[in-house]
């Protein structure tokens, strides 16, 4: 069961990586007329220079970073297995779904930041339920109203 869960998490990670790659390719492979659209980020030479300078050019440093990242990944996977071992299947499914939604939200945030666009008509909660902010608020209101109706229609016994 643990091997299946581990491979499922890995599959979800690969799927998200594929989505990010597709988004990146879509943004960078725009036709010529769209190349100057607001979706294409523009950075000053100074900013580009600062980013390039912060990148490691020393191979031993990048090797150290890779080994640290691998160690962190192993530690994360071990901690994840320990924390999910005692979960029943519905809770485990909900946990994986929550992780996938969190990764999706991170992807949206990076996408919005990189394109310089503002999020319109959605919030983090509404995107989690794949709704607009207005639809999400209406859904919450309907749930609240139905709970109020149930409470009012249930007789009170002291």
Predicted TM-score (pTM) of this structure? 0.40
Question: How far from 116 is each of 23, 48, 62, 122, CA to CA, in Å?
Answer: 15, 16, 30, 16
Across the range 31-51, mean pLDDT stands at 55
Could you read off the pLDDT of 65-106 as tens digits, one per residue?
778 888 888 888 888 787 778 878 888 888 888 888 888 888
């Amino acid at each position: 069961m643990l091997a299946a869960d581990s491979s499922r998490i890995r599959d979800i990670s690969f799927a998200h990586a594929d989505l990010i790659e597709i988004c990146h390719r879509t943004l960078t492979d725009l036709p010529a007329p769209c190349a100057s659209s607001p979706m294409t980020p523009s950075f000053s030479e100074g900013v580009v220079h600062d980013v390039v300078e912060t990148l490691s050019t020393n191979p031993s440093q990048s090797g150290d970073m890779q080994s640290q990242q691998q160690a962190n990944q192993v530690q994360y996977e071990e901690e994840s297995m320990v924390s999910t071992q005692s979960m029943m299947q519905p809770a485990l499914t909900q946990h994986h779904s929550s992780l996938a939604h969190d990764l999706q939200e991170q992807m949206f945030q990076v996408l919005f930041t990189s394109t310089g666009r503002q999020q319109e008509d959605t919030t983090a909660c509404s995107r989690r339920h794949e709704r607009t902010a207005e639809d999400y608020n209406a859904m919450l209101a309907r749930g609240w109203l139905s709970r109020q109706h149930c409470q009012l229609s249930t007789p009170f016994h002291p």
